[in-house]
Amino acid sequence: MPSTVVSAPYAAMVIDARSGKVLHSRNADTRLHPASLTKMMTLYVVFDAIEKGEISLDSQILISRNAAAEQPSKLGLKAGSRIQLRYLIRAAAVKSANDAATALGEAISGSEAAFARRMTRMAKAMGMSKTTFKNAHGLTESGHLSTARDMTSLGRHLFYDFPEYYNLFSRRSTNAGIKTVNNTNRRLLGAYRGADGIKTGYTRAAGFNLVASAERGNERIIATVFGGRSTAWRNARVAELLDMGFDRAPNSVAVRKPSRPVLTPEGASDTPGRVIRTSGLVTRTPRPRLRPLEAPPEEMLIALQDGITDALAEIVRGDASTANPTPDIVPAAASEPVLTASLAGSLVAAPRPRARTLNAFASTAAAPTDQVDDQIVVTRMSTSGGRQWAINVGRFTTRHEAEKMLLQTALVELGTLDEALRKVVRSQQGFEANFVGLTAQTAELACRRLLAQNVNCHPMGPS
């Protein structure tokens, strides 16, 4: 951690975490550079995405050149390598690794810019009205600003909204996959009784920042400092603020957890609109309109007539081969029926056009050569052209179980498997449930989403 003295503005805030009551503040609403305090929101959004099933702790994250090129502090990730999401979380929370924070943002939102917009929307939903994020790591960037009040509120949300992950911030060191990393806040954690987090931050523009939380008995205090002069000065000032908090906080107070923020979709207005309340009851169900009846084309009539003739002839041949032919059907009754356009129009409704892939199909075995040119057969999308990947979602003892699993999985992950073909392959171990006809990218994305929903899945490349 650098020890250079800076002249960043000083701001501070102390609250009783149980009630949210402010016990001390100074310049708490001044917009300043948060530095790596930013990663508190990065991790909050990641925890929220895991909870919603968007991604899982076991997801293998591909490291981009952008993430690998981030400035220190960093874990040392290599472009093109893969690492589990859980290790990126540990590196960002404990080591304050910038490359890990960027990789987390790209894994959740596709790009760091999109992730920063999601962070800002989450901040607004949380009531952090003076906070705007431009990146996931906190390095100085124009417009990337927050306040001591907003960061203190964020620290309180982390503690109450995701208690299952909060212990990360108290670890003195942790395994981050490629190496063991030490906590940037280990000095305060080791020196102040009851301290168990949360996050440090430093840039030349921001100074030495810290959001710290400590618990003694049934009391919990959160203190924030922006613009510290050095690591030692910052830690000493935070210790003073925590002491002040414990002195001023009542011994017993009702715990009022903060309300969980509701993330608004990107592009939605931040200004609340007029609320229209409805009962939700259906009062009338209109009958659907009937499709207009139109006479089918002449080619269809010919095909229908040929089909009926062949069917009657097949029935006659089948009855003639039995010992007791049915008296109601005799060869004389197999005279060729005449299907007129008016009759067919009353029986067949012209379907509405649907978007499908149509391929011309010609087969000398199916029909005479002069009747094939006008026929069109609807086919599925070809699996060629890069669609040679597949995914496997399990092995089962019966074909029925495999087919059932394929149907259930297709309904769960319709977005990536809509154009895939369901295929059951029998092997010595049982029946394999596979989706085939996928690209490598689609297969990987489908498996990542299914694994996040606890559905077994692994991609299979071209054999």
Q: Do domains 11-248 and 389-460 have the same CATH topology?
A: no
Which of 236, 240, 203 is closest to 4 using CA atoms? 203
Which of 288, 204, 266, 206 is closest to 37 using CA atoms? 206
**How close are the terminal C-alpha atoms of the chain, in Å?**
51
Which of 460, 443, 451 is closest to 85 using CA atoms? 451
Q: Which residues of 404-425 are buried (b: 16+ CB within 10 A; e: fewer)?
A: ebbeebbeebeebbeebbbebe
What integer pLDDT is reported at residue 269 of this predicted model? 53
CATH architecture group of domain 389-460: 2-Layer Sandwich (3.30)
> 11-248 has which CATH code?
3.40.710.10
Tens of each residue's pLDDT in the chain, 463 residues: 444 445 689 999 999 999 999 999 999 999 999 999 999 999 999 999 999 999 999 999 999 999 999 999 999 999 999 999 999 999 999 999 999 999 999 999 999 999 999 999 999 999 999 999 999 999 999 999 999 999 999 999 999 999 999 999 999 999 999 999 999 999 999 999 999 999 999 999 999 999 999 999 999 999 999 999 999 999 999 999 999 999 999 999 999 999 999 988 887 654 444 444 444 555 555 666 665 555 555 655 555 555 555 555 554 555 555 444 444 434 444 444 444 444 444 444 444 444 443 343 334 444 444 443 444 333 344 444 577 899 999 999 999 999 999 988 888 887 788 888 999 999 888 999 999 999 888 888 888 888 888 888 989 988 6
- Give the catalytic positions in this structure: 36, 39, 96
For residue 460, give the H/E element and its range. strand 458-460
What integer pLDDT is reported at residue 463 of this predicted model? 64
Give the three-state DSSP class for 114.
helix
Distance CA 106, CA 99 (A): 11
Phi, psi of 237 (to 5 degrees): -65, -40
- The DSSP annotation for 204-257 comes to TTTEEEEEEEEEETTEEEEEEEEEESSHHHHHHHHHHHHHHHHHHS-SS----P
User: Is the distance from CB of 311 to CB of 329 less than 8 angstroms?
Assistant: no
Distance CA 360, CA 429 (A): 40
Which token pair is 340?
Answer: 């007129």
Phi, psi of 32 (to 5 degrees): -135, 170
pLDDT tens digit string along 210-265? 999 999 999 999 999 999 999 999 999 999 999 999 999 999 999 999 999 998 88
Which token pair is 141?
Answer: 């960037």
The identity of residue 125, as a single letter, is A
- The DSSP annotation for 40-89 comes to HHHHHHHHHHHHTTS--TTPEEEPPHHHHTPPSS---PPTT-EEEHHHHH
- Domain chopping of the chain, boundaries: 11-248, 389-460
Kindly list the strands in the beta sheet with 421-427, ordered across the sheet, starting from the edge strand earlier in the chain.
421-427, 430-438, 389-396, 458-460
User: Is the distance from CB of 208 to CB of 96 less than 8 angstroms?
Assistant: no
Which token pair is 184?
Answer: 């940037």
Predicted model pTM: 0.60
Which token pair is 310?
Answer: 């062949």
CA dihedral (256, 96, 151, 232) positive or negative: positive
